[in-house]
Chains A and B, each alone.
Chain A
Amino acid sequence: MSDFIATNVPKFTSLFTAMAAFFIILAVIFVVAGFVNGKIARPIALVVFLAPALLLLLAGLVIPTGRTIFFSFMNPNSDGFVGLENYAWIATDPGVRTVLFNTALWTIVTPLFTTALGLYLAVMLDRMRGESIPKSLIFMPMAISFVGASIIFKFMYEYRDPGDSQIGLLSAIVQAIGFGPSNWLLVKPLNTLLLMVVFIWTQTGFAMVILSAAIKGVPTDVLEASALDGATGWKLFRGVTFPMVRTTFVVVLATMVVASLKLFDIVRTMTGGNFGTSVLANEMYSQIFVQFDAGKGSALAVMLFLSVTPIFIYNIRSLKRERSSK
């Protein structure tokens, strides 16, 4: 440990020097801007406060996006234009078709299932005695990374020849009740659904916690009033509780849609995109970093970007609407 510190002292020194320099420059700018007054005071203040954020946004987001779009019209080495060839490849290649189909499947099945299950758990556990214990347990997988969870589930789906002792839980159970074990990750389209289980397992807790908070936000007088009017159980949920947490439900759903669109780690870890389970983000990675085709990879990245955008726009608009209605 002391060796590590000793050898890295120059690095840390330059790191801290750079950070200190950054803050000193900022402080100087702020002080100078503070002396300005009169008509130009406000525009200057705006520039001074916004410039760092805008600069970082430009360097970290706008320029890379532009470059990616630019590269998507170029050849694998990004040194010659190929027109729309990369997009034509996305539209026609049968392998990519599977990828797009899987991504669509992920974005429809996982968010709905995760959010619905989260809502169900939130409603059922609400005001139960000792509700925090099951809730904590359900929330816990959230602390495990996708890669970690994938490795755990890879062991659960592990396959050994029939008759051998199965080290995979799923095969062991199936074998114990008298069926032959199956090589789960090879069976299409079951394998994609089995990968989704990993996502659902880690994310349901998150959906549950957010929705549970929204349910707890429903005023008690409203609930009591509807109870007096005879609304209980399903009727109460459908007519009162759900409409009041609808916005939260949609936000959670949209978050899940975006997460499953961008999904990469589970597929990469469990199948590497083989056996017909690849998704958009995994294919993008393979194209750029395994096959060194920056053109096709960028085109896939642009596709991903385009499919995420409408959801973000919707999210921002519904947030705005909510704010203006309050």
Chain B
Amino acid sequence: MFKSKKRILATAGIAATTLVASLVAATAPAAAAVDCAPYAAYGKHTGKTVEFNTSILDPEKSTFQKVWKDFESCTGITINFTGTNQFEAQLPVRVAGGTAPDLAVFPQPGLLAKMVETGKVLPAPASVVANVDKYWSKGYKDLGSVGGKFYAAPLGSSLKSLVWYSPKQFAKNGYAVPTTWAQLTSLADRMAAKKQTAFCGGIGSGGATGWPATDWVEQMVLREHGAQVYADWTTNKVKFSDPRIQSAMKKVAGWMQNPKWVGNVKKIATTTFQDAGQGIPSGKCMMLQQASFYAGQFPEKNIIAADGDVYAFYLPGTNPKVKTPILTAGEFVGAFASRPEVAAVQAYLSSAEFATAKVAEGGWATANNGVPLFKYKDPIQRLSAQYLSNKNATAVFDGSDIMPASIGAGKMWTEFTAWFAEGKSIAAVTKALDAAWPKS
């Protein structure tokens, strides 16, 4: 026992020494080059630590730490990044137990609202309010607000209103990227006439089978009826059986359940969403409505660019009264502590400087319109940001994340799967969903 302990201590010692050595080696030349002028406004907080609690994990974690390294060395604040995939389960426990983190990154507004109910989340400091007013459109501020009070600034955002396609296949067939719904449908008809499958589809996702179908319905509710009906729908003020929701679902049925465009409708239910788009580069199927994160589903040999193997275009609106409708997802940073160093980190994270440095690392987009679009590393993120940061866009958040889990992460998945797989009628699906909406 004693002997092995000694050996472990020795190993740990060596590890620590090499770590320190490598840190010294890594920081020594960089330290000289840091220009602290941009960080002067955040003040000096030497020796202070701020906990940043999130569900974000590596490799995303390291890019965050890389981006805010200069901020840390100039302000003297150490940002303690604590990432866990159990974030949503653990945060309520920590808050109830009085050990809430300084900053929490809420992956959806529903959890923020739940935490605000506890009274422990603090309203955003003035500096953050100023940043959000300056850089984000009002829709995002509303998403970070509960009961009219603003709590959490948006961090990363992703765009769900995209249609993936192959620029090479489009060029080969002489197709142009559609910019209106009418152009999209006539393009799909042209493809059908050439015996091509216009739309790929797949809603299989193991225990979460059905979620892509919820996205399609959300897209159409927003596109057909606008943000207000959408918001009322997510809070059940507008029922599923409401004629407006049913008409949006009919629009989806005419699109993703149209055998002329998608081929075998039922197969969509047994195709996984990961497999759905694999036919795009080869032209087996031509278009797939999926979020910006879908870029990661293509094999690395496929170049994702406007002239590459795969790329995406914005899913056009269907109702001219709804201006640039976009469905988004993203995180929000809320604070449980009001110490000056916490406010400083919060202000920095909502600044255009942070966002600009972060997008240059790739794989990340923000709705912060203080970020010049050319700073984006990935074309697809730049395209997303173009819509996310559009001040005139009608931006809403993924509705199934806002609805109660029993609907948004349960009944809606299974009912929409039955709609695709078993041909269950829209009337029956909406009736079952209304019946399942939790009372109280």
Q: Known: A76-B406, A274-B209. Is A183-B414 also a contact (CB below 8 A)? A: no
Task: Report the bound CA distance from A95 to B410 in whole Å.
Answer: 13
B11 part of interface (Cβ distance < 8 Å): yes
Q: Known: A6-B8, A183-B266, A291-B409. Is A275-B422 also a contact (CB below 8 A)? A: yes
Binary contact readout A272-299 vs B (1 if CB under 8 angstroms, 0 otherwise): 1111100000000010001111000000
Q: Known: A183-B266, A186-B266. Is A274-B210 also a contact (CB below 8 A)? A: yes
Contact of A186 among B12, B210, B270, B440 (CB under 8 A): B270
Closest to B407 in A: A291
Instruction: Tell me how far the C-beta of B419 lies from the nearest C-beta in chain A, rounded to whole angstroms.
Output: 11
Task: Report the bound CA distance from A76 to B440 in whole Å.
Answer: 11
Contact of B422 among A76, A188, A273 (CB under 8 A): A188
Taking a contact as CB atoms under 8 Å apart, the answer to whether B264 and A161 are in contact is yes
Residues of B within 8 A of A290 (CB): 207, 405, 409-410
B417 part of interface (Cβ distance < 8 Å): yes
Instruction: Tell me how far the C-beta of B285 lies from the nearest C-beta in chain A, rounded to whole angstroms.
Output: 10
Q: Known: A159-B270, A183-B267. Is A9-B8 also a contact (CB below 8 A)? A: yes
Closest to B8 in A: A6
Taking a contact as CB atoms under 8 Å apart, the answer to whether B422 and A276 are in contact is yes
Instruction: Tell me how far the C-beta of A194 lies from the nearest C-beta in chain B, rounded to whole angstroms.
Output: 13
Q: Known: A161-B264, A185-B270. Is A292-B414 also a contact (CB below 8 A)? A: no
Task: Report the bound CA distance from A255 to B415 in whole Å.
Answer: 34
B129 part of interface (Cβ distance < 8 Å): no
Residues of A within 8 A of B270 (CB): 159, 183, 185-186
Residues of A within 8 A of B417 (CB): 274-275
Residues of B51-94 contacting chain A, CB below 8 A: none
Main secondary structure, interface of A, reads: loop
B192 part of interface (Cβ distance < 8 Å): no
Instruction: Tell me how far the C-beta of B288 lies from the nearest C-beta in chain A, rounded to whole angstroms.
Output: 16
Residues of A within 8 A of B418 (CB): 274-276
Residues of B within 8 A of A186 (CB): 266, 269-270, 421-422
Q: Known: A76-B406, A290-B409. Is A6-B11 also a contact (CB below 8 A)? A: yes
Instruction: Bin chain B's interface residue count.
Output: 20 to 34
Residues of B within 8 A of A183 (CB): 264, 266-267, 270
Taking a contact as CB atoms under 8 Å apart, the answer to whether A292 and B406 are in contact is yes
Closest to A162 in B: B264
Q: Known: A76-B438, A274-B414. Is A161-B263 also a contact (CB below 8 A)? A: yes
Taking a contact as CB atoms under 8 Å apart, the answer to whether A291 and B406 are in contact is yes
Binary contact readout B1-15 vs A (1 if CB under 8 angstroms, 0 otherwise): 000110010011000
Contact of B269 among A274, A292, A293 (CB under 8 A): A274
Task: Report the bound CA distance from A275 to B415 in whole Å.
Answer: 10
Q: Known: A268-B207, A293-B406. Is A159-B267 also a contact (CB below 8 A)? A: yes
Residues of A233-250 contacting chain B, CB below 8 A: none
Task: Report the bound CA distance from A291 to B12 in whole Å.
Answer: 45
Instruction: Tell me how far the C-beta of A202 lies from the nearest C-beta in chain B, rounded to whole angstroms.
Output: 21
Contact of B209 among A94, A272, A293 (CB under 8 A): A272
Q: Known: A183-B270, A274-B418, A274-B421. Is A292-B405 also a contact (CB below 8 A)? A: yes
Task: Report the bound CA distance from A320 to B5 in whole Å.
Answer: 55
Instruction: Tell me how far the C-beta of B432 lies from the nearest C-beta in chain A, rounded to whole angstroms.
Output: 7
B411 part of interface (Cβ distance < 8 Å): yes
Instruction: Tell me how far the C-beta of B82 lies from the nearest C-beta in chain A, rounded to whole angstroms.
Output: 18
Residues of B within 8 A of A273 (CB): 414
Residues of A within 8 A of B435 (CB): 93
Binding site for A on B (CB under 8 A): 4-5, 8, 11-12, 206-207, 209-210, 263-264, 266-267, 269-270, 405-406, 409-411, 414, 417-418, 421-422, 432, 435, 438, 440
Give me 11 other A-B pairs in contact (C-beta within 8 A), A159-B270, A286-B414 excluded.
A9-B5, A9-B8, A93-B435, A159-B267, A161-B267, A272-B206, A274-B421, A290-B410, A291-B406, A291-B411, A292-B405
Q: Kindly list the 7 A-B residue pairs having the minimum CB-CB distance in the complex, ordered from nearest.
A: A291-B410, A291-B406, A274-B417, A292-B405, A272-B209, A275-B421, A290-B410
